[in-house]
Amino acid sequence: MRLWTLTLFWTLAQVWTLLRITAAELDYDSNGQGMYLSGDHIIAGLFPLFKNNKHVGGQIALEPCNNVPDVIQAFTVFRGTPNKHGFHLMQALRFTVEQINNNSLLPGVRLGYQIYDICSIPASMLATLDLLEPQYRALFPPQGRGGGGGRGIQEGSREPLAVIGPDSSSKSFTPAALLGSYLVPQISYEASNELLSNKNLYPSFFRTIPSDKNQVTAMIELLVRFNWTWIALLGSDNDYGLHGMQFLTQRAPLYGICIAFQGIIPSVSATSATKMRQLVDGILATKVNTIVAFSSKSIFRGFVPYIIEKNVTNKVWIGTEDWSMAQLILSIPGVQTIGTVIGISVKQADLDGFEEFEKRDFEKSMQYNGSVDSPTVDLLSPLSHWIQESINWTTLLLF
């Protein structure tokens, strides 16, 4: 009964939202939100090109993803700053499409793409609705409007053959439910939540990264191997961290592992400092030497300065694949003092020719900088001040 209730809820929710979009009650336009290449078949890409941490409560809205940064207390929360990782992922899709089009792999067929910037959960949801609008209009043509006026993807383009992304579980649940209603294949490169494996709710969702079930199993095997059975467990305050922490809590007692302290790491905000310090105090009070942090890198980054502030040293930190090797964490001043970090990671590989592609694309975008003739200038201009510095960072995670 619960499954049917959830399915009915998602169906009614998508019909209501699509009706409001087609009736222009909810205004969402993809223009300026990404990059488009025409082709016989279109692949949609959902990538976090900017960081946007602003919460919009009780309202389906999409603010521009290149807003100015907010400064909260002693730590800066960048809202609208370029996301280097997301940029390289987007470039990997463009590079792959170019390679296929220049190869004989698909003779007589040209691939295209529609890329969206999903800097927030609302952006991810509305980008998905924008992609589905042509299919919805095909099923329910507008009455009394001449049957036109659709804004889905780009004018004259085709419906998406498949969707690549999003980058996190939190951003994937709603798109997976919506796309599953039309059986549009969705392949995520970083969403690892085990709940997304439910084919009754998400029939067309696939991923190239192992689910968190595998990650929890690896963590427990590591703890048992080194006899680390008195631990603290932290989880980030999002779907990724909460579900991972819940799964580990259920499995740990079966292997004789005692969780002496457990806490949730909040996102950095004007009121989060007290909670962060309480978490660190809890770790110190229980005298644990091993801390499992099932957290996203963005939230864990906000927690690390408080660990350093309290002079927590000589601890063993068990990290998830998302933060244990992330440059976002490694670049924090003083992070090396917190102790030993042992993390779960995924296999890496180099893409031959990718570095040259990024350099060539950067040079091309700079030639058109400020010109309306360039299809990429609107997207690349805000990124140009650091693209050159990061152009050598070309190793992507391939799962």
Instruction: Judge whether 140 and 161 are in contact, CB under 8 Å.
Output: no
Q: In CATH terms, are 2-207 and 212-343 the same topology?
A: yes
CATH architecture of 2-207: 3-Layer(aba) Sandwich (3.40)
- Coil/strand/helix, residue 113: strand
The residue written with tokens 């095909």 in the block is 138
pLDDT of residue 124: 86
Class of domain 212-343 as given by CATH: alpha beta
**Angle 179-214-239 (CA atoms, 0-180°, nearest 5)?**
50
pLDDT of residue 149: 47
Domain ranges of the chain: 2-207, 212-343, 350-397
**Going by C-beta distance under 8 Å and a sequence separation of 6 or more, which residues neighbour residue 303?**
234, 265, 276, 279, 295
pLDDT of residue 351: 85
Instruction: Judge whether 67 and 78 are in contact, CB under 8 Å.
Output: no
pTM: 0.72
pLDDT of residue 52: 64
- Coil/strand/helix, residue 232: strand
Q: Which residue type does 203 have?
A: P
- Beta 290-294 vs 315-319: how paired, if at all? parallel
pLDDT of residue 311: 93
**Going by C-beta distance under 8 Å and a sequence separation of 6 or more, which residues neighbour residue 288?**
230, 231, 232, 260, 261, 315
Taking only the tens of pLDDT, the chain with its 399 residues reads: 444 444 444 444 444 444 444 444 433 444 444 688 999 999 999 998 887 655 444 344 455 565 534 433 333 344 457 888 888 999 999 999 999 999 988 999 999 999 998 888 888 888 898 888 877 677 777 665 444 444 455 544 567 899 999 988 889 999 999 999 999 999 999 999 989 999 999 999 999 988 999 999 999 999 999 999 999 999 999 989 999 999 999 999 999 999 999 999 999 988 999 999 999 999 999 999 999 999 999 999 999 999 999 999 999 999 999 999 998 899 999 999 999 999 998 887 788 899 899 888 877 766 655 544 444 444 444 444 444 444 333 333 322
